[in-house]
Amino acid sequence: MKKALVLVSGGIDSAAALWWARERYRATALSFDGAERPRGEVRACAAIARRAGVPLLRVSAPYLRQQPSGYIPARNLVIHSIALSVAETRGASVVVAGHNRSDAKVFEDARAAFFRRLERLNGGVSIVLPFAGKSDAEVIALARRRGVPLELTWSCYRDGARPCRRCSACRGRIESFRQIRSEDPA
């Protein structure tokens, strides 16, 4: 079975991507510890990898600093470049990431064209984006069907014992779950 390196942030999309990858590859999770990273994300990454039964590699990346809006300059360029290097040294044929359609609307470096250019520069290791055409709500629905433990995920930009429910990541998560509930035929 081919190997995959799966980027895991602790959020819903990356947890769903890990479950997707486990069905197709011998997966290893890769997480980046940026400056001021919420402890909830770190705990979520460890819990998700443990539940998935895959090893978790952690990369210290203190130069990745979050701006007040939650944006991290050049984030995808940095983490995917490192992931491609780690994948190649570990004999993985692919890097799997959970970027979805919502990410691509907001960030140019979350669009399929960006990843294709990065892939061409690297040569040899492919970047796989299984949810590139899906919305946040569609990824949640898919994750539920696959049995992804969404209760272990963390989607808050702030550090704390619990998500703040006020930042844009929390509001997006709440809205996505609302959309799923409104679509349930119950």
The answer to whether 94 and 126 are in contact (CB under 8 A) is yes
Share of the chain above pLDDT 70, in %: 97
| pLDDT tens-digit series, residues 84-99 | 999 999 999 999 999 9
Note the helical H segments in 39-183: 39-52, 75-90, 101-106, 112-122, 136-146, 168-183
pTM of whole model > 0.75?
yes
- Name 56's bridge partners: 29
* More confident call, 122 vs 68: 122
- Domains of the chain: which residue ranges? 3-183
| pLDDT tens-digit series, residues 103-116 | 888 888 999 999 99
Residue 69 scores a pLDDT above 80: no
Helix (H, G, I), strand (E, B) or coil at 15: helix
Return the pLDDT at 184: 57
- Choose the CATH number for 3-183 among 3.30.70.1560, 3.40.50.620, 3.40.50.80, 3.40.91.50: 3.40.50.620
Burial of 133 (0-12, 13-18, 19+ CB in 10 A): exposed
